């Protein structure tokens, strides 16, 4: 079946612009995760959804970052007033349920803020 998909794959934004990144998880997967991966680093946890409920958003770097999953399927990560330090690959992953199951990652969105 189809894996996790993300769009756009690449995004270039001018500093101060707002961006929206989309994640389509595997159908039937209850849990959805967002990560930020800087060049040469490991994925950094941002936030976690169980269905439509955002159970943890402690990893979001600032209040400029906002994530939602209104119908418990597709999720959007929004970054307002982008800064250069927001440049990274944003990875989305889904799992059947919970934190103790295999996570299936999407290809990521590479965000470059100029």
Residues in touch with another protein (CB under 8 A): 33, 35, 41-45, 48, 55-56, 58-59, 91, 99-100, 102-103, 105-108
Rounded to whole angstroms, how far apart are CA atoms 105 and 65?
A: 20
| CB neighbour burial string for 27-66, b if at least 16 within 10 angstroms, e if fewer | eebebbbbbbbeeeeebeebbbbbeeebeeeeebeeeebe
Please, which residue, 33 or 65, has the CB nearer to another protein? 33
Please, which residue, 72 or 107, has the CB nearer to another protein? 107
Half-sphere exposure of 56 (CA within 13 A, CB side): 13
- Shortest separation between residue 5's beta carbon and another protein, angstroms: 11
- Shortest separation between residue 20's beta carbon and another protein, angstroms: 20
Please, which residue, 25 or 108, has the CB nearer to another protein? 108
- Shortest separation between residue 12's beta carbon and another protein, angstroms: 18
Please, which residue, 27 or 58, has the CB nearer to another protein? 58
Which residue spans within 14-87 are E strands per DSSP?
Answer: 19-24, 31-37, 44-50, 53-56, 65-68, 75-79
- Shortest separation between residue 104's beta carbon and another protein, angstroms: 8
């Amino acid at each position: 079946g189809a894996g996790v998909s993300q769009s756009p794959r690449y995004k270039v934004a001018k500093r101060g612009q707002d961006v929206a990144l989309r994640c389509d998880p595997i159908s039937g997967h209850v849990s959805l995760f967002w990560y930020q991966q800087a060049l040469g680093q490991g994925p950094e946890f941002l936030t976690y959804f169980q269905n439509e409920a955002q159970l943890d958003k402690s990893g979001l770097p600032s209040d400029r970052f906002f994530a939602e999953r209104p119908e418990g399927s597709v999720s959007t990560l929004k970054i307002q007033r982008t800064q250069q330090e927001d440049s990274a690959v944003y990875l989305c992953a889904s799992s059947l349920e919970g934190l103790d199951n295999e996570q299936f990652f999407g290809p990521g969105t590479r965000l470059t803020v100029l």
